[in-house]
Amino acid sequence: MIGLVRVVDWHAFRRSEPPKDYLELAQRAIAFADGLPLALTILGSHLRGIDIPRWQVILDDYKGEPYTHIERILQKSYDALDHRAKEYFLDIACFFNGGYENYVPEKGGYENYVPEIVPKKFIEEFVEKAMITIEGSRILMHDLLANLGKDIVHKESPNDPGQRSRLWFYEDVKQVLMESTGTRNIKGIMVKLPKPAKITLNPECFRNMVNLQIFINRNASLCGHINYLPNTLRWIDWDGYQLQSLPLNFQGNNLVKFNMPRSHIRQLDGFNFKQLPNLTYMNLSGCQFLEKIPDLSGILNIKYLNLNYCTRLVEVDGSVGFLDKLVELDLGGCFNLTRFATTLRLNSLENLSLHGCKSLESFPEIEVQMESLRSLDISKSGVRELPLSIAYLTGLESLNLHGCFNLIGLELRLFSCWSTLHYLDLSGSNFVTLPECIRKFVRLDELHLRD
pLDDT tens digits for 157-197? Answer: 999 999 999 999 999 999 999 999 999 999 999 999 999 99
Query: Confidence band (pLDDT; 50, 70, 90) for 6?
Result: very low
Coil, helix or strand for 122? helix
Tens digit of each residue's pLDDT (9 = 90 or more) over 381-437: 999 988 889 989 999 999 999 999 898 767 766 777 788 888 888 887 776 555 555
Strand duo 398-400 + 351-353: pairing: unpaired
Please tell me which residue, 336 or 417, carries the higher pLDDT value.
Answer: 336
Least confident of 75-84, 306-315, 439-448: 439-448
Q: What is the pTM of this model?
A: 0.83
Q: Which domains does the chain have, with CATH numbers?
A: 2-74 (no CATH), 81-147 (1.10.10), 266-451 (3.80.10.10)
Please tell me which residue, 370 or 433, carries the higher pLDDT value.
Answer: 370
Q: Which helix (H) or strand (E) holds 141?
A: none
Note the pLDDT of residue 426. 83
Environment class of 163 (CB within 10 Å of its CB; exposed 0-12, middle 13-18, buried 19+): middle
Query: Confidence band (pLDDT; 50, 70, 90) for 259?
Result: very high
**Mean model confidence pLDDT for the chain:** 83
- CB 401, CB 429: distance < 8 Å: yes
Q: Is the pLDDT of residue 304 over 50?
A: yes
Note the pLDDT of residue 358. 96
Nearest to 363 by CA among 403, 420, 424, 404: 404
Segment 366-386 mean pLDDT: 94
Note the pLDDT of residue 3. 40
Environment class of 81 (CB within 10 Å of its CB; exposed 0-12, middle 13-18, buried 19+): middle
Q: Which helix (H) or strand (E) holds 315?
A: strand 315-316
